[in-house]
Chain A
């Protein structure tokens, strides 16, 4: 086990970084720009019509995409379109295509984080899908080019929880004894972008279940759940602790989802 003095370390690190930054301002001249990702150095906006010349299929179906609703009439909105996410396309057009001169949000979440900055924080947390480490991308679950960007949203021809079940199909059942919460969606209990809690749970303690299962209490000193006093049980830990209600997604043998 490590003992710690975190704030001192933080101060030292920040101070060191600041000093380092100042020292680097030297007099050497350079003739090339350096930009923060996901920008494209030296590129200019060309408009979505230029994109349609080669990517006609994508542009055609974009009109019903959630992100198409960002587009507006007027000079101030002229750069809103493909280049909002893919970056200014002049170098890409000039080169006749290519991968190194345009941003592909399918390879990095930085583009999405530009507007969805609240999601950036969630992906930094200890329990998250492996997006920042590159094994997954936002587009594995969200389609930015057509239809509702929310997985399984709107009038999509998709099974309930289909996006999650693509990879987690054992949790989909059907079970002999189902947990009705599954019909409200996996996101009722899980935060797919990341959580401070293990398994990306929205809540780590008994409240995860009590949100729906807390009932009117008719006697003092009890925690009645499902018509039974659970106070002696929940002192042991979570509702889904070993020996209690482990089969949170559904059970083949027990109506109370014991296992």
Chain B
């Protein structure tokens, strides 16, 4: 059977290749224009139904659509001149099943401005699955894993935009974000066939947020001078929970709920002005100030169900079960930025832009809470300690930037950007235990951060239809931390001393890409691109030697080919091959640390094939095939949780578009999707049939 299928594939491929080889050298006839009447407005009504065999949650997440189907008005646009220079427009869609709605209304006058209002809602799907442990075949599903989060935005906007005068713009948004999604903070289980505890149990984030945002802007755009002044205020409320289930089904079965309440008030003002100083020189400068006030509240409580009341004698409590309650506090942050930029164009072919950006950040945060901790058995005594935390930070940073652009060589553009940043700050942290009257943390850390980036780019338009682009940059960053006061075990090396535990850390990145865009024939266009990046991180902890703590290396080759063998037929192919690895010395450890941490491969490849064909003057057919594959799985369940992604996803679609008249057409589409995920033990696999139909009426 395998041989037969391979032969069939080869024969089909050879036949197709032969046909293409003949067609590629066929001169393309002149492009014919269409003379059908034009319609500015349209409405699309569509419906789709899906049949999913396997993991519906996985289908929803990967395709970002409802497992059963969806339907409604998938798009409409209406535009109407209501008087001279005044136009009314309405755009949107309303798709049930996915709760995907959009309505934008706008009344605009060329000489006055516009008023507009709108509402947008969309859903993002998640699967609530955790990990799979192959030794025992353990895979937990705690909720219906078909999860989603909805975002909405209700807004109004008004603007005065008289030509050559000051413009005013006002906008108000009310946004919400609500739903349940997965987290990677997986809980632990001992159902591992003797391998010990492994964290593969799904965890959830319950999201409930809303924001009021007000933006006001005044601006002027003149020949010699332009300026802009922006005021922004937002107030937001977040009531989010993290829901963790630990060792489900065992005698130590327990739930953890962490509530993270936060109210924010953010005020921002920003001014920016640009002026021509002479024929060859212009200058711009700006300043922004942010003021953020937050209030926090929350708890982390263990219990026999999600969102429990704190019970110090809760039956299933275990040693080291730690949490807190009665968290109250807040923070105040102020951040000020100022920049100045010059644009100097000494000749037509040169432009030079030197810039300076200065930044100052200052914040303070305080809170109080009761920390809970369970002692060792058999009594599992619960300790409750009142704590008060406080931290303050001040940070200053200066960035210098020089951009140069040269076009003096015919058909060539050369660019270079040089960027240097230097910053320093002081962080103080205190954690006060009220009952003992002692500071458990009492620390001041001075730190410095510096970075440089050197970027060179060249574009060469060698001949019509053939261009080469190359870019290279080197970026280095150096962080250093120095504790000038520390109450935690002052004899190094010791634990719990971050950030000052890291004394120095250097990052160095080399990044290059090459791109060739080539149209060897009028009907054939290719884009070939190669990207390379490597990053080395060198780290030194207090009292220890500098070491290479990580090497990250990425190679990407991508190709796009677009071909119109004849005017009525196009073929497009795109694909990428990615080799990506993050390597740390942890993979070379021996003894009890053998095999626990593997190098992280994030390799994958993908390709897409699409083709469209005009069967006749009223009918188009198109087909597409998408495929991607990652194969990075190593079963090291003996030592840890095996993570590397091993999945294959493919989807084939066939679409028929029929024009019934100049303003009426319908579309019918069938798709077949197939997904396999070895890392999840096959529990995320699915096969799906998708049918979809759309009618478009233009008017």
A residues with a Cβ closer than 8 A to B are 1-4, 6, 8-22, 24-26, 28, 30-36, 39, 41-42, 57, 60, 63-64, 69-77, 80, 95, 98-100, 113-115, 117-118, 120-121, 124-126, 130, 133, 135, 154-159, 169-170, 173-178, 180, 183-184, 195-199, 201-208, 210-218, 220-223, 226-228, 231-232, 234-238, 240-244, 246, 252-253, 255-256, 258-259
Q: Which residues of A contact B552 (CB under 8 A)?
A: 202, 211
Can you list the 6 inter-chain pairs with the closest CB atoms, starting with the nearest? A221-B591, A237-B199, A121-B576, A74-B411, A241-B199, A211-B550
Residue in A34, A77, A156, A259 whose CB lies within 8 Å of B323: A259
**Any chain A CB within 8 A of the CB of B67?**
no
Contacting pair A212 B502 (CB below 8 A): yes
Q: Is the interface of B mostly helix, strand, loop or mixed?
A: strand
Q: Which residues of A contact B124 (CB under 8 A)?
A: 130, 135
Q: Which residues of A contact B147 (CB under 8 A)?
A: none
Q: Which residues of B contact A30 (CB under 8 A)?
A: 567-568, 614-617
A177-B391, A235-B640 are contacts. A205–B598 as well, Cβ < 8 Å?
Answer: yes
Shortest Cβ distance from residue B614 to the other chain A in the assembled complex, whole angstroms:
5
**Any chain A CB within 8 A of the CB of B389?**
yes
**Any chain A CB within 8 A of the CB of B450?**
no
Residue in A24, A176, A212 whose CB lies within 8 Å of B389: A176
Shortest Cβ distance from residue A125 to the other chain B in the assembled complex, whole angstroms:
7
A17-B609, A234-B640 are contacts. A195–B602 as well, Cβ < 8 Å?
Answer: yes
The CA-CA distance from A196 to B407 in the complex, in Å, is 40
Within 8 A of A (CB), among B1-32: 1-2, 5-6, 8-9, 11-13, 15-16, 19, 31-32
Residue in A42, A57, A118, A199 whose CB lies within 8 Å of B33: A42
Contacting pair A2 B389 (CB below 8 A): no
Residue of A nearest to B400 (CB): A155
A174-B331, A177-B391, A205-B643 are contacts. A216–B547 as well, Cβ < 8 Å?
Answer: yes
**Any chain A CB within 8 A of the CB of B610?**
yes
Chain B: residues with Cβ within 8 Å of the partner, total of: 232
**Any chain A CB within 8 A of the CB of B43?**
no
Shortest Cβ distance from residue A215 to the other chain B in the assembled complex, whole angstroms:
4
Q: Beyond A2-B53, A33-B564, A184-B507, list 14 extra A-B contacts (CB 8 Å).
A: A2-B676, A34-B568, A76-B461, A115-B517, A121-B605, A205-B598, A218-B544, A222-B591, A226-B497, A228-B495, A238-B185, A241-B199, A246-B242, A253-B371
Residue of A nearest to B256 (CB): A242
Contacting pair B300 A259 (CB below 8 A): yes
Q: Is the interface of A mostly helix, strand, loop or mixed?
A: loop
The CA-CA distance from A57 to B645 in the complex, in Å, is 47
Shortest Cβ distance from residue B187 to the other chain A in the assembled complex, whole angstroms:
4
Within 8 A of A (CB), among B197-227: 197-201, 203, 209, 211, 221
Within 8 A of A (CB), among B431-455: 431, 441, 447, 449
Q: Which of B309-317, B555-563, B661-669 contacts A (4 or more CB under 8 A)?
A: B555-563
Residue in B353, B357, B569, B676 whose CB lies within 8 Å of A34: B569
Q: Which residues of B contact A236 (CB under 8 A)?
A: 188, 196-199, 640-641
Shortest Cβ distance from residue A251 to the other chain B in the assembled complex, whole angstroms:
9
Q: Which residues of A contact B393 (CB under 8 A)?
A: 174, 178
Residue of A nearest to B425 (CB): A183
Q: Which residues of B contact A218 (CB under 8 A)?
A: 544
**Any chain A CB within 8 A of the CB of B477?**
yes
Shortest Cβ distance from residue A237 to the other chain B in the assembled complex, whole angstroms:
3
